[in-house]
Structure 1
Amino acid sequence: MMCKNLLFALLILISFNGFAQNISLSEKAKVSILTCGLGPESYAMYGHTGIRIQDSLNNLDVVYNYGAFDFSTPNFIGRFIKGDLQYFVTYGSFIDFYYNYQVENREIIEQELNLTPLQINSLYQQLNYAVYSDERFYTYKFIDRNCTTMVVDKINKIIGQEYIKSDQTNLSYREILYPYMSDFYMKLGIQLIFGAKVDEPATRLFLPYEFKNALSKTQVNGNKIEKSDSKILQVTQSEIPFNWLNSIYSLLLVLITLVLLNKKWIKISYFIFAGVLGLFFSLVGLYSLHEEILWNYNILLFNPLLLIFAWYYKKKNFQKTLFLGKISLAMLLVYLAYMTTKIHLQIVWPFIVLHFYWIGKIVLQIKKSKLARG
Structure 2
Amino acid sequence: MVIMGRKIFREKFHKVVMKKVIKACKQSYIKYAFCLISLLCVFPFQSKASSEDSVRISLLTCSPGSEIYALFGHTALRYQNMKTGMDVVFNYGMFDFHAPHFIWRYIKGETDYQLGVTDYFYFEQEYSERNSSVYQQTLNLLPEEKDALFQILQKNYLPENRVYRYNFFFDNCSTRPRDRVEECIKGKVTYTKNTSPLSFRDIVHEFTAGHDWAEFGIDLCLGSKADEIIDYRLKMFAPYYLKEALTGAKIKANDGKERMLVSNAEEIVHRSPNKKTVESSYPSPLLTAWVLFVLVLLITAYGYKKKKSYWGIDIVLFSMAGLAGCIIAFLVCFSQHPTVSPNYMLIVFHPLHLLYLPFMFWKAYKGKKDPYQLANLAVLTLFIVFFCLLPQKINLAVVPLALCLWIRSLNYVCLNYKRNK
Q: Normalising by structure 1, what TM-score? A: 0.83
1:330 aligns with 379
1:84 aligns with 110
Determine the C-alpha separation between the residues in 1 that align with 2:228 and 2:103.
Answer: 27
Larger of the two Rg values belongs to structure: 2
Deviations 1:280-335 (A, max 9, x none): 22124333322233322211111323235544442226766234532553266258
Determine the C-alpha separation between the residues in 2 that align with 1:191 and 1:366.
Answer: 36
Determine the C-alpha separation between the residues in 2 that align with 1:282 and 1:201.
Answer: 24
Of 214-223 and 132-141, deviating more is 214-223
Mapped pair 1:259 → 2:297 = yes
8 A Cα contact 1:106 1:235, kept in partner: yes
**1:342–1:281 distance in 2 versus 1, CA, 3 Å:** closer
Query: Which residue, 210, 225, 232 being the options, matches 1:197?
Result: 225
CA drift at 1:15: 5.8
Secondary structure of 1:34's counterpart equals: strand
Query: Which letter does structure 2 place at the counterpart of 1:27?
Result: E
Number of residue pairs matched by the alignment: 358
Fraction of identical pairs, as percent: 26
Deviations 1:79-117 (A, max 9, x none): 222222321111121111101111222111111122222
Mapped pair 1:172 → 2:172 = no
Mapped pair 1:285 → 2:361 = no
CA drift at 1:128: 1.0
Of 50-59 and 277-286, deviating more is 277-286
1:3 aligns with none
Determine the C-alpha separation between the residues in 2 that align with 1:333 and 1:25.
Answer: 70
CA drift at 1:234: 1.0
Query: Which letter does structure 2 place at the counterpart of 1:325?
Result: L
8 A Cα contact 1:142 1:292, kept in partner: no
2:399 aligns with 349
2:163 aligns with 137
CA drift at 1:142: 1.2
Query: Which residue, 186, 193, 207 being the options, matches 2:238?
Result: 207
Stretches (4+) displaced over 6 A: 9-12
Query: Which letter does structure 2 place at the counterpart of 1:285?
Result: V
8 A Cα contact 1:35 1:109, kept in partner: yes
8 A Cα contact 1:305 1:328, kept in partner: no
8 A Cα contact 2:297 2:407, kept in partner: no
What's the Cα RMSD here? Answer: 3.2
Q: Normalising by structure 2, what TM-score? A: 0.75
Q: Map 1:112-191; keep pairs closer than 5 Å.
A: 112-159=138-185, 160-161=187-188, 163-164=190-191, 167-168=194-195, 170-181=197-208, 182-191=210-219
Query: Which letter does structure 1 place at the counterpart of 2:396?
Result: Q
Q: Which runs of 5+ in 2 are unaligned?
A: 12-48, 253-257, 301-309
**1:239–1:96 distance in 2 versus 1, CA, 3 Å:** closer
8 A Cα contact 1:215 1:225, kept in partner: yes
Query: Which letter does structure 2 place at the counterpart of 1:358?
Result: R
CA drift at 1:48: 0.8
CA drift at 1:34: 0.5
**1:271–1:113 distance in 2 versus 1, CA, 3 Å:** same
**1:57–1:172 distance in 2 versus 1, CA, 3 Å:** same
Query: Which residue, 210, 222, 225 being the options, matches 2:261?
Result: 225
Query: Which letter does structure 1 place at the counterpart of 2:403?
Result: V
8 A Cα contact 2:189 2:250, kept in partner: no
CA drift at 1:202: 2.8
Determine the C-alpha separation between the residues in 2 that align with 1:155 and 1:300.
Answer: 44
**1:339–1:120 distance in 2 versus 1, CA, 3 Å:** farther
Query: Which letter does structure 2 place at the counterpart of 1:243?
Result: S
CA drift at 1:119: 1.4
Q: Map 1:302-341; keep pairs closer than 5 Å.
A: 302-307=349-354, 310-315=357-362, 316=364, 321-327=370-376, 329-330=378-379, 333-334=382-383, 337=386, 339-340=388-389
Determine the C-alpha separation between the residues in 2 that align with 1:192 and 1:10.
Answer: 43
Determine the C-alpha separation between the residues in 2 that align with 1:209 and 1:43.
Answer: 15
Q: Which runs of 5+ in 1 are unaligned?
A: 1-8
**1:124–1:308 distance in 2 versus 1, CA, 3 Å:** closer
CA drift at 1:255: 3.1
Secondary structure of 1:147's counterpart equals: coil
Of 59-68 and 214-223, deviating more is 214-223
